[in-house]
Structure 1
C-alpha cells in the first residue's frame, strides 16, 4: 500500500495483482480489492460464479457486468501523481512544446498533460483553460502533494461541467446543470454540495476504523495462541512416542506388530491435531488479512480520498467493513495434549495382546453423539457414533472402550458390527430381520452416551405411505406427477383435486397445497430457483410456472404444444415437455419458445421425461411402445430398451422415470405397479417394489435415498428405500 509520503510510493500498490502491470482503468470489487477492468473481464469469462482473485470472495456482478463496478479513483490519482512526478524530473521535455527539458514543470489535471513554465502561463491565459486545475512542480514534490492531487470528475451528460453536487434522493453525483434539469430541488430530488455529504460519510468511516483495531488485536492474539499450541504439538508427540517405545521393548516379539499400530495411532493423532490447528490458524489469518485489507483501504479513503472518491466508494467500503465486523468468528483453538498409557501389564499381555496400548485423548462419554439413520427391514442399516473429548472434538479411542447391544421387537439380540470409519467416527452396522421398534444401547468406557438406549424404528416395504382417498388436507385423488421441492419435500400433482400438495419428506405430513389451473394437471418439476412447473391437458392446457408459495407466475403455450404431460427443467432454465398428441418431446427455451422437437416419428405415446445433464441424455417413457427411449438434447436417438412383459426388465405401460446420481434409470409401470432400476445403458439391475393398486405413475428420488412413487389407484405416495 502507498505510504503517506509521496516519495515512498510502493510500485506494487500501483500494479494489478493479475497482470502485474500498472492499473488500466482500475475497478473495485465489493471486497475492496482492485484490478484492471480488462483483467476482471477476462477472469469473469473463465469463472462462474466470479471469485476475487485475491481473497476468493464470491462476487455478484452488477447488471452491466464489470463495467458496472466502481472505478478506484484513488488509484487513478496515484497513477497520475506518479506520472506527473516522473515527468517533472530533469531531462523530461514539455508535453506541449516538446522543449524546456531542464525547466520546472506543472501538471494540468483537466488536460492530463505536463507543461513547462511558458506553456503553463499561456495555458492560464486561454479562455477555455484559464480555470483548469494546474499543480506546480513544488506542490508535486511537497510532502502533502499527493493528498492535494485529484483528478477532476465531470458530468457524463454535461461534459464541460464538474460534479459538485450530490443528489441524496438518487444517490448520484451531479453537476450544476443537472440541478436545473434532471435533479431540480423538490420533493423528488435533493442536491447538496458534495463537501457536506462527504464529511458525513468520512465521519462514519472514521468511526468504523476505530472498531477495527480491537478486532484485529483479538484475531492476532488468537493466531499467537494457535502458534503456541503448534509449538507444543511436536514435543507432546515425541514424549508419547518415547513412552510407547519403552513399553513395547519389554514385550519383545509378540508386541512388535502392536507397537507399529500404536505408533501409527500417535502419528495419526498428531497429524489430525496438527491439521486441525493449522487449518484453524489459516482460517484466522485469512480473516485477519481480509480485515487488514479493508482497514487499509478505508484508511486511505479517509486520509487521501477526495470528496468525490469518498462518495463513490464510501457505501461500498462501509458495507464491506460492517460485514467483516459483524461476521461471527470462532477464534478459539482447542487442543488437548495426548500421551501414551499402559492399559495392560506385561504379565497379562498373552491373553490381551490385541488390546495392548492405546492413544488416550480423554474421551468424554457425555459429549459423544449417536446419529441413528433411517432403517429398513432386510437392508444393512447404520448408526453413527462420534467419540469426542471434553472439548467436543472428535478423538480416537480403543474399540474395547465402545460396547453396543440391540434387541428387536421380540427381545432377540440383533448382531452388530462395529467399524471405525474415520478419526473418531464409528459405524454401528446391523441388518434387522423384523420391522418395528428396536432398542440400541451404546456405551463408551462403560458409560451410556446421551440418549442411549435409542429407539430405532425399522420400516417395512414401503418405508412410508403418504395420503389416502379424499379431498381434505393430506388426502389425494389420482396422484400423477411427483417431484422434490427446494427443501427436499415431496410435491405431488393431485390431479382429481386440481392442486399441488407438499408433504414433509420425513413424516409424510401435509405442509401446504395450492390450486393449479387447467382441466387435467399432470406433470411437475422444480427449477433451480425453487419454482414449480406444472403441465395440464385438455381445456386450458399448457405449462404453468408457480412460485414456492403457489402463486401463478406465467403460462407457456407455444403453437407446437397440444397435450403436455411430463416435464423436466434443466439447470439453465430450458424445459423438456413430453407431448402425447404430438408424439414427441418439446425442448423449450425458458420463455417457452421452441428450440426443437425430439423423437418425432419414433415415439408412440410419450408420458414422462427425465434428463441426465451430466451425460446430456434425456429418457422418455413410451407407454404405447412399452419402452424407454434415450435421446441427446440435439434430438439424436442414442438407444432404447425394454419390451412388453411381466418379468424383470420388461414393461407394462411405463410412465414415471427419473435418474439417480450414478446415471441409473428408475422406471415405474402403470400396467402392473412394478418399480424397476436399470443401468445407464438400459441393463436391468433390480426391482425396488410393487405399489398398491398396481399403477405406478410419477417417480422421484430423494437426496437421502428414497424413491417416491405416485400410486394412481392407491391414491397415495409410497416411499421405498433405494440406497
Structure 2
C-alpha cells in the first residue's frame, strides 16, 4: 500500500481516519475507535473515577480522558484537512473495498485469505477474524503460487489435453449431425414444395380446362342472343321510320318488310337454358380432403375431373325428415362398406356384357378409377359429400350403360 495512505489510516480500525482526535500522548485515533476502547476499559471497573484512564494502543502509556469523554479531546484539524483533500482526488492505483465506499484494502484476513478494509474487520463480515499486515502477509505468501502450480503435474496436463481433444471431436461430430439434419430439412421441404407446386398446377389446369369448356358451351349462345337482340333493335328503329311514312304505297311495302322480318325472328328458337353446377368444387375439396390429409399422403391425392353437371342429375335433397334419416344412415355406414359399394358398381359394369370391354376405352376406365379413388379419400372426411358423389357416379354409369346397350343393338 502507498506510504502516504498508511499515514492516513487509524491503527485501531485500519481505515481512513474519521473525526480524528489527539490523545495527550500525541497519537491520533478515530473518535469512534476511542469510544470503543474506553467502553471496553470501563466494563472492567467497579467504580468510575472523575478522570477516565486509557492505555494508548500505540505507545501503551496511560493517559487520562476528561469526564466529558472523547468529545473534549482536541481534533487533529491538519490531519482532517489532508484526509478531506485526499478523498476528493481519484486514486486509481489504490485498491478499495467493494463493500465499503472508498475504504482501502490495507489488511490481510488470514482466515479467508483475502484483502479487507478496516470496516470489514469492525462492522463487516470479517469481524473477529485473525489478521496480518500487508508486508508480513506478502512475505508469507510469496512462495504460495509456486507451490500451487506444483500441484499441476504432468499427468494432469496430459489429462487436460486429452479431454480437450475428446471435446473437440464430440463437438465436430455433433455439428456434422446438425448439418446432416439441416440438409434433410431442406431436401424434405423442397420435395414437399415440388409436390404442392405440382398439385397446384394440376388443379389450376383442371380449372382452366373447365373454364374453356364453359366458354365453348356458352359463347355461341351468347353471340346468337346478341344477334337476335340487334335484329330486334333494328326492327324497332324501322318501325319508327314506317310510322313516319306518308306515302300509302311505300308504307304498305315497309309494313310487309317488317311483317316478314318479325315472322323470321319469331321462328328462331331460343335456347333452353338448363341450370348446371360445376362439380366437384375445388374450394370444398381443399376444405374437406386436403386440409384433413397428412402431409406425406398429399402426393397420393388424385386431381379430379371437373365437369359441368346438370342439376337434375344430382341426387335430390329430400325433406327434413328424409335428410334426418339419411344422416342417421350415413353415421351408421362404415368407410369400408361404402368402398365395397363402389367396387360393386365397377364389377357390375364390367360383368354386364363382354362386348362392353371392347367399347369402354382406356380413358373411360381411368376416369372411373379416378372417381372411385377420390370417393374413398373423401369418404373419411365428409360422408355427405361422398354420398352425393356416389349418386353422381351412379347416374353417370347408368347413362353410360344405356349408351353402350343402345350402341350394341
Fold equivalence (TM over 0.5): no
What TM-score comes out, normalization by structure 1 length? 0.18
Higher percent of residues as strand: 1
What TM-score comes out, normalization by structure 2 length? 0.30
Higher percent of residues as helix: 2
Q: Which has the larger radius of gyration?
A: 2
Which gives a bigger RCO, structure 1 or 2 (Cα 8 Å, sep 6+)?
A: 2
